[in-house]
Amino acid sequence: MKNTEQTRTDLLSIFSAAVDAVGGTSAVKREFISNGEQYPDQFHVVAIGKASDAMLQGIIATETPKNKRIKTALLISKHDHISAEMKNDPRVHSIESDHPLPKEATMKAGELLLDYVSHLPKDETCVFLISGGASALVEVLHEGWDLAQLQELTDYLLANGYNINQMNAIRRRISKIKGGGLWQFVGERPVHCLMISDVPGDSPSDIGSGVLFPVDDIDLPELPEQFTKKIPVFQQQKQAAGFVWKIIGSLDVAKKAAAKKASELGYTVDIQAEFLDGEASEVAKSCVTSSQEKTDTLLIWGGETMVYLPENPGAGGRNQHLALSAAIAIQNNPKTILLAAGTDGSDGVSDATGAIVDGETVKRGSDKEMNAKDYLKASDSNTYLNATEDTIVTGATGTNVMDLVLAITLD
């Protein structure tokens, strides 16, 4: 029979297996090994997102000394997410940009992206590699908008719980490149696109705000007048003929990989169809209840919750907030263990990607004279969970398919 310590170890292994299954390098490599004949012998690459370095390495892993498929590449990723290999490859122009809040580097990346695609030979193929984070990493704003205004809007959206679909609807209106706007600069060049999805439903128009995917006009979510009065009228974009795209990594793939690893470790598994997108502390309570109602079964959820931040929040993110909320709910219940973590290796303002908690987490904090509820209220979950040694730190994972929550109550 499993004990808490062994179960914690197993849950970490299960999470790792899920992340590995949607890793940028392995997913792209599989695609080129299986379907390489669908791509020209040589092409250019635009890789944007938190998994872009790993995805680009997936193509390089299929090259041989006699067959260098990549002619040139533009790589845009988060600070500290670009490897030495990519920085030292003379074919690759690497740009470190800002995430989750757009800053000066975001605007610079947008200028360089337009310059790069506009100067590609018109008859040569470009392969786009798009992953989560692209929306904040690169931007070209419509006239009337500047970086300060974009930052103010982004702060408001993040602090007030707007979901990814709502945020993208707004971003597409104020951007020259999102919502298919990039086609204005790509023109009629042959284009392939491979994506790792970080959005519910895996709609390509929402991955990276759909730089290559025009959308119909949709109603904007409710916003303060200070923003709505400056948002331009929607402009429909046109996609080039012959465009080919594919999603090669998603939350569903990660959940199935987690279930497979859990079964190999001897657990009964139940993948939950519900997408977790509510307020993190409320979601935590629901997950704990479900786990305790179905004992000795590992429940697997995926999603992306939200946290309403206080005026001066501490360190942490939605996954650690969820985990700390769960820890409070299961205190003194040694049989329930819950893991909540981001597949990209990051979680809010911290170096952790999430946490794994059990019935003793609150006690471990109390022993250090720390009140879990106070830290939760201050949105300072990282400080608390670091002290109780419950945080999960992986570093950049080379993928991004939102978050996973694993919970089990031992019989």
- 3-state SS of 50-77? CCHHHHHHHHHCCCECCECCEEEEEEEE
Q: Do residue 104 and residue 227 come from a single domain? A: yes
- Asked whether residue 174 falls in the same domain as residue 257, the answer is no
Name the 3-class secondary structure at 191.
Answer: strand
Q: Are residues 290 and 391 in the same domain?
A: yes
Domain count of the chain? 2
Burial of residue 38 (CB within 10 Å: 0-12, 13-18, 19+) is exposed
Q: Is residue 286 domain-shared with residue 165, that is, in the same domain? A: no
Domain of residue 218 covers 24-249
Q: Are residues 10 and 39 in the same domain?
A: no
What separation, in Å, do the N-terminal and C-terminal C-alpha atoms of the chain show?
A: 9
The last residue of a domain, from among 249, 278, 297 = 249
In the block, tokens 């690893």 appear at 261
> Given this model, what pLDDT does residue 236 score?
78
229 and 332 together in one domain: no
Shared domain check, 362 and 403:
yes
CB 109, CB 28: distance < 8 Å: no
Report which DSSP code applies to 202: G
Q: Give DSSP secondary structure letters for 24-47.
A: HHHHHHHHHHHHGGGS-SSEEEEE
Same domain, 159 and 265: no
Q: Consecutive 10-residue runs of the chain (411 residues): their mean pLDDT?
A: 93 98 95 95 96 97 93 95 95 94 94 96 96 92 92 88 82 90 93 95 90 83 89 82 95 97 98 96 98 97 94 96 98 94 94 98 97 98 98 94 97 91
CATH of the domain at 282: 3.40.1480.10
Query: What pTM value is reported for the model?
Result: 0.86
Instruction: Render the burial of 201-235: b for 16+ CB within 10 Å, e for the rest.
Output: ebbbbbbbbbbbbbbeeeeeeebeeebeeebeeee
**Which of 249, 282, 317 is where one domain is finished?**
249
Do 200 and 264 lie in one domain? The reply is no
Mark whether 150 and 277 lie in a shared domain.
no
Task: Give me 269's structure tokens.
Answer: 């598994």
As a whole number of angstroms, the distance between CA 153 and CA 176 comes to 17
DSSP assignment of 63-128 equals -BTTB--EEEEEEEEETT-S-HHHHT-TTEEEEEE--SS--HHHHHHHHHHHHHHHTS-TTS-EEE
Q: What is the pLDDT of residue 165?
A: 77
Q: Same structural domain for residues 119 and 187?
A: yes
CATH number for the domain including 110? 3.40.50.10180
Q: Are residues 14 and 34 in the same domain?
A: no
Q: Which residue, of 232, 249, 266, is where some domain finishes?
A: 249
Amino acid at 405: V
